[in-house]
């Protein structure tokens, strides 16, 4: 399955950016991963069929991928899984976002929970949202306490709950209680309660 996904992404790269692809293919995977940011511009432009294959493989929103992200995903899939934590830690924001967007595609996704939890701590909103929004990984792999903290942070930072994939599958009493408490805290401060909190608490804010 992984080989098919690699080939699917490669096909899109070849079609959308033949020069960039030629550069990427001839590079060692780590150099390719780093340099892809400047060599691929615009959206990934996956075909409907390619997008369907990616969704089946666990990518929640292939339509949101940029071409650079697709190139980085391809390089990541071709690199050794041991490289992933180091690539993440030494990555700039765009590199970290690319890794988080394709976590579900990597071999042994469960092995990256530590990295995911670390990413969720980031104050760089793009990094946080790359995992919290339109990404199947958290609902599939995060332990409940971490998932709950992620949802609360999404509420806190203005990331729409409607974009937290698998939220209804992972609803739990603790999360409902935390959100009800958050709503009460906002009311006590005379501040507006985010309306989409109803997705969790079930009632009007």
Of 45 and 166, nearer to other proteins (C-beta) is: 166
Q: What 8-state DSSP symbol labels residue 194? A: P
51-80 residues in contact with other proteins (CB under 8 A) are none
The length of the chain in residues reads 205
Of 144 and 185, nearer to other proteins (C-beta) is: 185
With binding defined as CB under 8 A, does residue 109 bind other proteins? no
CB of 98 to other proteins, least distance (A): 12
> What is the distance between the alpha carbons of residues 176 and 84, in angstroms, rounded to a whole number?
34
Q: Both tokens of residue 59? A: 């990518």
With binding defined as CB under 8 A, does residue 37 bind other proteins? yes
Cβ atoms 10, 2 nearer than 8 A: no
With binding defined as CB under 8 A, does residue 172 bind other proteins? no
Cβ atoms 40, 17 nearer than 8 A: yes
134-163 residues in contact with other proteins (CB under 8 A) are 156-158, 160-162
With binding defined as CB under 8 A, does residue 41 bind other proteins? no
Which residues are CB-contacts of 23 (< 8 A; sequence separation ≥ 6)?
A: 32, 35, 39
With binding defined as CB under 8 A, does residue 118 bind other proteins? no
Q: Which of 80, 90, 172, 174 binds other proteins (CB under 8 A)?
A: 90
> What is the distance between the alpha carbons of residues 79 and 41, in angstroms, rounded to a whole number?
22
Q: Is the dihedral of CA 153, 155, 158, 161 positive or negative?
A: positive
Total residues contacting other proteins (rule CB under 8 A)? 34
> What is the distance between the alpha carbons of residues 141 and 113, in angstroms, rounded to a whole number?
7
Of 44 and 159, nearer to other proteins (C-beta) is: 159
User: Each residue of 4-18: b (16+ CB within 10 Å) or e?
Assistant: ebbebbbebbeebbe
With binding defined as CB under 8 A, does residue 193 bind other proteins? yes
Within 10 A of 88 (CB to CB), how many other CB atoms are there? Answer: 21
Of 80 and 90, nearer to other proteins (C-beta) is: 90
With binding defined as CB under 8 A, does residue 123 bind other proteins? yes
Name the segment binding other proteins (CB under 8 A); options: 14-22, 69-77, 109-117, 186-194.
186-194
With binding defined as CB under 8 A, does residue 167 bind other proteins? yes
Instruction: Kindly list the residues in this chain that would bind other proteins in the complex (CB under 8 A).
Output: 31, 34-35, 37-38, 89-94, 96, 123-126, 156-158, 160-162, 167-168, 191-199, 202
């Amino acid at each position: 399955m992984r080989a098919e996904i690699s080939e699917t992404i490669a096909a899109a790269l070849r079609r959308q950016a033949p020069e960039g692809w030629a550069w990427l293919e001839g590079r060692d995977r780590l150099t390719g991963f780093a340099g892809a940011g400047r060599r691929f511009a615009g959206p990934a432009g996956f075909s409907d069929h390619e997008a369907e294959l990616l969704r089946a493989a666990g990518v929640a929103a292939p339509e949101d991928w940029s071409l650079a992200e697709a190139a980085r995903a391809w390089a990541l899939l071709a690199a050794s899984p041991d490289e992933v934590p180091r690539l993440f830690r030494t990555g700039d924001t765009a590199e970290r976002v690319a890794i988080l967007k394709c976590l579900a595609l990597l071999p042994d996704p469960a092995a990256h929970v530590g990295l995911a939890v670390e990413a969720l701590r980031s104050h760089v909103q793009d990094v946080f949202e790359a995992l919290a929004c339109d990404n199947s990984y958290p609902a599939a792999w995060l332990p409940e306490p971490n998932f709950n903290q992620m949802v609360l942070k999404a509420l806190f930072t203005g990331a729409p709950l409607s974009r937290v994939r698998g939220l209804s599958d992972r609803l739990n009493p603790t999360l409902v209680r935390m959100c009800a408490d958050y709503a009460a805290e906002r009311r006590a401060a005379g501040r507006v309660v985010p309306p989409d909190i109803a997705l969790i608490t079930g009632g009007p804010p």
